[in-house]
Amino acid sequence: MIVSRGELIEIGDAFRIPDVLARSGARLVEVGTTNRTRAADYERAIGPDTAVLLRVHQSNFRVVGFTEQPRVQDLSAVARRHTLPLVDDLGSGVLGALADEPSAREALAAGADLVCFSGDKLLGGPQAGIVAGRADLVELLRRHPLQRALRADKLTVAALEGTLQLHLDAPERIPVLRMLREPVEAVRRRAERLAAAVEGTVEETVARVGGGALPLAELPSFACAVEELLVAPLREAATPVVGIVRDGRLLLDCRTIDDDEVDEVAAAVRAAR
């Protein structure tokens, strides 16, 4: 299995791509360098034992400066010449246009044979792993003896189906997409409402996406600032409220609080005092 050295990533909870591949029984062949890899590097590494070309999205970090990565189209051309499948690990699971995150549709259209991504993160659904692409390859995976032991259960599938239907019918109802796209003035009004309810102050701040995606993205936001001493009691409440401590104040970022949650958060703050 051929992969770029710049894509040997570690994701959450210390899971590493090289360790995952080793446990699968694959032999990893590294090409290129940490910051620059080209399609020709993959082509030179192909031999009689090569089974897969692997591309891995740097979901939760970026290498900037003197860098180069081959496009999916370029790797697909190499894979076609050698009759090999190209697998593109997309990580976060974007379905539509969102910043510079590659979508499953774009990767498949560019020539990837299989894409894999999460059911949660930017997709906004349940914890799950999703594989999409060429029907014959998906069927090979479906027929693997371990598939029955590792498959998602019916509740996960039902939640995933509901989330995908929302992507078609009402994407604004998916919390993560709503938070990413909400106008900052709406966030400010919510911060003002919460601050008035708890005798706090409104502070301008910056929200970051997190969750293994868009590591450089910064969203303008507003927070309700309250006393720092409320950190522990709010975190330990029956419904925990987690904020950010900055300059001796606890900031409750209102980009991640829904309109119908303001009263509940306000009640938690008053109880914590």
Give the integer Cα–Cα distance in Å for 219 and 165: 27
Are 225 and 200 a contacting pair, CB within 8 Å? yes
Instruction: Look up residue 135 and give its two tokens.
Output: 């029907």
What are the residue ranges spanned by the domains of the chain?
A: 2-173, 182-272
Quote the percentage of the chain above a pLDDT of 90: 81
Which pLDDT value is given to residue 247? 94
Give the integer Cα–Cα distance in Å for 220 and 158: 34
What is the DSSP secondary structure assignment for residue 240, as one 8-state letter?
A: -
pLDDT tier at 13 (50, 70, 90 boundaries)? confident
Q: How far is CA 232 from CA 76, 127, 200, 209, 219, in A?
A: 52, 28, 17, 24, 26
Domains 2-173 and 182-272 in one fold: no
pLDDT at 88 over 80: yes
pLDDT tier at 41 (50, 70, 90 boundaries)? very high
Are 80 and 55 a contacting pair, CB within 8 Å? no
The structure's pTM equals 0.88
Calculate mean pLDDT across residues 5-14: 86
Which pLDDT value is given to residue 95? 86
**Residue range 50-65, pLDDT digits in tens:** 999 999 998 778 888 9
* Closest by Cα among 239, 233, 273 to 257: 239
Mean pLDDT of the chain: 93
| CATH classification for the domain delimited by 2-173, as one of 3.40.640.10, 3.40.50.300, 3.40.50.10070, 3.40.50.2000 | 3.40.640.10
Which pLDDT value is given to residue 93? 79
Which pLDDT value is given to residue 96? 79
**Residue range 209-267, pLDDT digits in tens:** 876 778 888 899 999 999 999 999 999 999 999 999 999 999 999 999 999 999 999 99
**Residue range 122-164, pLDDT digits in tens:** 999 999 999 999 999 999 999 999 998 989 999 999 999 999 9
**Domain made up of 182-272: CATH architecture:** Alpha-Beta Complex (3.90)
Which pLDDT value is given to residue 15? 84
Instruction: Give every strand in the sheet of 244-246, ordered side by side.
Output: 201-208, 218-227, 249-253, 244-246
Helix (H) or strand (E) run with residue 232 in it = helix 231-235
